[in-house]
Structure 1
Amino acid sequence: MTPDQVRSTYDEAYARRYDAAFLHTPQYGFREKTRIELFLLRMLTMQADSWLDVACGTGFFLRHGRGHPDITCAGLDLSPAMLAMAREANPGTLFVEGDFLAPRPEFEGRFALTTCMWGAYGLQESVAHVERLVERLTQWTRPGGTVFLPVFDPARFVSLQAEGRLMPEVTLRSPDGTRWSFLEPDGKLHEDVLAPPLEVMRAMFEPAFDSVELSPYPDSPGIPMAALTARGRRERTR
């Protein structure tokens, strides 16, 4: 999706219903997915002093995922409507409107934890753009810090389709599940979403981190995902 397509999709009406539709609903295991991610975020932020949530959306995770109550938080998002919700939910938190592929010198090496939730990376137009996002997430994480990125599991997409359990709103656009689309009841279309294989996603982080762990979420008929946690960002070499 282009930046203009993202802004058009994530408009005010969408922002108002987003949490109920994707974070709180028990349908397709979405509520359980949210619980898992909040648990992981609270563990990751328990000892952290700073956290940047990239593609922060409504600010739900920044509000509810703080394991350390005094952690300094910031959010970055492209959608003005989503950011309005985030500011309302997180008074006093820094929110910046902008493209997460663009350089942002004021963020470089600043955050103990950097996250990008709900598969926002998959809305990019190419794998090269996903690689650029990974580069930004790495740049904005301080040496020794952590990146947390829930990632799609394309192999599970294929398995769910073979088992007849794939969500009816999802259409696979490639036989290996690395491209898919999601059509919502109101006609909102997330077209040609990218899902590079898990090992490809791991490899994007490995050069810059001491360890990269992939932990699949419990089986559900919803969007199949794994938690990618890259720990120990290495010092950059010149």
Structure 2
Amino acid sequence: MVDFQEPFTNLFTQGMIHYKGAKMSKSKGNVVNPDEHMDRYGADTLRLYILFIGPPELDVEWQDQGIEGAFRFLGRVWRLVNEVVEKVEPRRYANYANDHDAAKKLVRKTNRTIAKVSADISERFHFNTAISAVMELVNDAYLTKDDLYRSEEGQGVLRFMAETVVKLLDPFTPHICSELWQRLDHERLWREPWPEADERYLEEETYELVVQVNGKLRDRVKVPSTAGNEELLKAARASDRVARHTQGKDIVKEIVVPGKLVNFVVR
């Protein structure tokens, strides 16, 4: 439609910030002065709240109390990372777990958070959901850390989690993350490569197996992702709902579709 090359291949139009029911505008006198919030909470808190406030393509309402939540979250991150620094030596770092169940769950959660944040930033520009994913990881760490400190494997995973949290938050809150990175016995966070998720930990441990009788849905059961055909059949037969439709009948065929369903053909 034009006889010249476009200056860009994609256009992203962000939403507007509203305050007290109207679009922020100097003429309406409802503009929030960022200097006041930076003086009280710091630049990182303000940055985090602005990016967390909502999807960037939508209009959102500024909430003065919302910045308090961002401030409290960064406080939790600060306390968690410093606690790990005090209790776990740098050499304990381990991005895997073999025996400790809680450690394995935190390794899986950390890798899934890496994948989620990476995709939200690079593919969708949804910084709010990226930050939310890190918040979930921090919450999980708080729930399990006391147990994890009791084993060397757990300590190593906590160190892995702490360093990952700092790396993932760095684009949003660079000042506090730079300080925490040094406390973790490292230098120059901005030179560190972006974390990459280990694909092994992105797979679900279990999935929902559909169980049918003569092609009709009778139940859904949780089974391990690694389950073989015999294990899937055993889980399907153990269902009380399925048993009600097969009791007293001959099972003439058992159809197994790994990862999806089991179908009993009866007469």
Task: Tell me if both proteins adopt one fold, taking TM over 0.5 as the criterion.
Answer: no
Normalised TM-score (structure 2): 0.22
- Larger relative contact order (CA 8 Å, sep ≥ 6): 1
Q: Which has the larger radius of gyration?
A: 2
Larger helix fraction of residues: 2
Larger strand fraction of residues: 1
